[in-house]
Amino acid sequence: MSTLCLDIPIVETGRLILRGPEARDFEALAAFFADGDRSWGFGGPKTRNAAWRWFAGNIGHWALHGYGFWTVETRESGQIIGIVGLWNPEGWSEPELGWVMFEGSEGRGFAFEAAQAARDHAYGPMGFTTLTSNILPGNARSVALAERLGARHERDFTNVTGDAEMAYRHPSPEALAKAHEQEGAA
């Protein structure tokens, strides 16, 4: 009998730790998915059973692709504040960068910091050359975050579940490096 072993990298920022999912993370995720007002832009609301299946599916995504959603916790308290990561399930045209902040975690720049760290890790050690963020129409907060990250609306499309989405294209690694050079020269 073989054992599946996941080697999920830990990504750290000044305030945050992005780490692989652990069993203790499920309660916060289930609470997020149970709240339809908060989770509608991420496929919710979901029953506790459906939330568990998403949680387990994310772990499987890490096993199959070598990437997925990290749990985001604060360095200061270890509080679980959201998830951020790279997603490319069956039927997706390419990997996307996604984010969710749990109740009480908005408005402090955590989503931006975590998404930027995930994108930097994807473009750096993982070797990605492009990413999108797929956002449901009406999700103004996610659109604002995508644009703050430098992503631009590329197209509207219908996803594999039949929902309308907007694809926001992130700057390439080269474009980000050039922008950082120009900022340093200013």
* Contact present, 106 and 93 (Cβ < 8 Å): no
Residue 185's pLDDT is 78
pLDDT at 161: 87
What residue spans define the domains of the chain? Answer: 11-185
Q: Quick check: helix, strand or coil at residue 23?
A: helix
Which regions in the chain score pLDDT beneath 70? 1-5
Q: Phi/psi at 115 (nearest 5 deg)?
A: -65, -40
The predicted pLDDT at position 2 comes to 45
Give the integer Cα–Cα distance in Å for 12 and 147.
23
> What's the pLDDT at 4?
54
Whole-number Cα distances in Å, 51 to 28, 66, 72, 95: 10, 21, 17, 21
Peptide linkage before 95 cis (omega within 30 of 0)? no
Third-level CATH fold of 11-185: Aminopeptidase (3.40.630)
Specify the pLDDT at position 71: 98
